[in-house]
Amino acid sequence: MSCCSKRKDDATGGKDDGLRPAGFIPIDAWRWRTGAQKVPSRIEHLNKEWLTEALRLKGHLTPDGRVTSVEVRPIGEGLGMMADMALLHLTLEGALPGAPHRMVAKFAPQKQDKLPKFIVKFQLRNEAHFYNDFTVSSGGLPRPACYLAAERRRAKPTFLMLLEIVDDAVTYTRIGGCDEAEHLGRAVGALGGLHCRWWNHPRKAPLQWALHPHQGLGRVLFSRQYFAYSLSKALRAMRAWEPETFAPLLDWSDLLTRAAPLVVTQCTTPPFTLVHGDAHLDNIFFADRFPGGCAFIDHANMMLAKPLLDVAFFLGTCYRLQPCGGEAATPCVSQRLQPHACPV
């Protein structure tokens, strides 16, 4: 595409196909690459002038409305997060109904040397597409609101997402676990809704950005060679780190190695659907105001794959055989999945 060409939907509103949110603009629209609307690459470059342009464009301010002040507070530093993040508090003039006065700004990391640039681009592009390209209902998975998601195409990954602050929800961690069978059921039910929404969808619009086990990079990441390499590296790390903690898995190392071809075959055999790819407790907010009572964040690992990858990963990282309340979690989880059963 020529630098002077214009995408058919490179404008506020986009296609009225029932998928797009109000004020839809493609994440890689030319307007995000140059001029006053050029996407900033760092937290310190985010100012009230740029936010004024962006919020007007996305329909949160009147044509003469503006951001009169912005307070920026970096968060997550030193926590191993694959993004540079900040809390923003805005003062607005000419705000339209629903205009955000607080938000989280999420940037591509500027000091990331542990992952190749193409992986950072791939993962943040996934997340930006899912937040930006669909309404919450049409995307199929409850999530916080997205006020803007944009990418400035250049050699160094440059992304910016402005997201809803969620500070009124119940949260858990993988380390602490979850003893509430109802919350486990909500999370698995939400995943079931996502899987049913995109069941057997090809890697075509609107999911042309999603990795597929049979195409492109997916063929590498779902290959027997890559799985064997990853498994070997993981087992070595467990032996070196906390061998006593990981003793049950290490006892299965020979079995896991022998079963690797079968695992890969199962993971690369259709049907496929869109999966979250990182469904664990740290990535879920529980609150009644969200559809189904929960909302997922961190969509960087979304891909077309087997739906049980999500369910197994979620239960494997948080599941307790007997919640403290005495209610068995298994029936609750299976009941939440049943309404989303899809034909094979």
The pLDDT score that the predictor gives to residue 245 is: 86
Tell me what percent of the chain is helix, strand and coil, each rounded to the nearest 5.
40, 15, 45
pLDDT of residue 144: 97
In the sheet with 61-75, reading across from the earlier edge strand, the strands are: 61-75, 84-95, 102-107, 159-163, 146-151
How high is the pLDDT of residue 238?
94
- Of 174-188, 226-240, 269-283, 293-307, the range with the lowest mean pLDDT is 174-188
Residue with tokens 């022998």: 258
pLDDT for res 329: 55
For the segment 62-81, the average pLDDT, to the nearest whole number, is 85
Contacting residues for 133 by C-beta, under 8 A, at least 6 apart: 19, 20, 24, 27, 139, 206
pLDDT higher at 317 or 284: 284
DSSP conformational letter for 207: S
The model's confidence at residue 16, banded by pLDDT at 50, 70 and 90, is: very low
In terms of pLDDT, which residue wins out, 237 or 325? 237
Closest CA to 194 of 257, 263, 275, 250: 275
Nearest to 65 by CA among 91, 85, 36: 91
Kindly state the tokens that stand for 71: 């307070």
Preceding amide of 206 cis, omega within 30 = yes
Residue 150 pLDDT more than 80?
yes
Among candidate residues 194, 222, 189, the one with its CA nearest the CA of residue 207? 194
* Alpha helices (H) in 215-306, listed in sequence order: 217-221, 224-241, 247-251, 253-267
Instruction: Report pLDDT for 294.
Output: 98
pLDDT confidence of 316, banded at 50, 70, 90? confident
113 DSSP 8-state letter:
-
In 152-247, the DSSP E strands lie at: 159-163
pLDDT of residue 4: 35
How far apart CA 144 and CA 184 sit, in angstroms, is 19
Q: pLDDT tier at 81 (50, 70, 90 boundaries)?
A: low
Burial of 205 (0-12, 13-18, 19+ CB in 10 A): exposed
The residue ranking higher by pLDDT, 343 or 58, is: 58
Beta-carbon contacts of residue 154 (< 8 Å; ≥ 6 apart): none
Alpha helices in 40-133 (DSSP H): 48-57, 117-133
> Would you state the pLDDT for residue 318?
77
- Given this model, what pLDDT does residue 22 score? 86
Q: Which residue reads 């990853």 in tokens? A: 230
Mean pLDDT to the nearest integer, 49-72: 96
pLDDT at res. 2? 32
Closest CA to 289 of 188, 136, 169, 132: 169
State pLDDT tens for residues 30-46: 999 888 889 999 999 99
Spatial CA neighbour of 91 closest among 82, 80, 83, 99: 99
Q: With 90 as the cut, is the pLDDT of residue 127 above it?
A: yes
Q: Which residues contact 259 (CB under 8 A, 6 or more apart)?
A: none
C-beta separation of 156 from 34 below 8 A: no
State residue 323's pLDDT score. Answer: 47
pLDDT of residue 1: 31
Tell me what pLDDT residue 89 has. Answer: 98
**pLDDT tens across 225-274, in order?**
999 999 999 999 999 998 998 898 899 999 999 999 999 999 999 999 99
Q: Which pLDDT band, with edges at 50, 70 and 90, does 17 fall under? A: low
What's the start-to-end Cα distance of the chain, in Å? 39
The answer on pLDDT for 12 being more than 60 is no
Tell me what the mean pLDDT of segment 89-103 comes to.
97
More confident residue, 212 or 331: 212
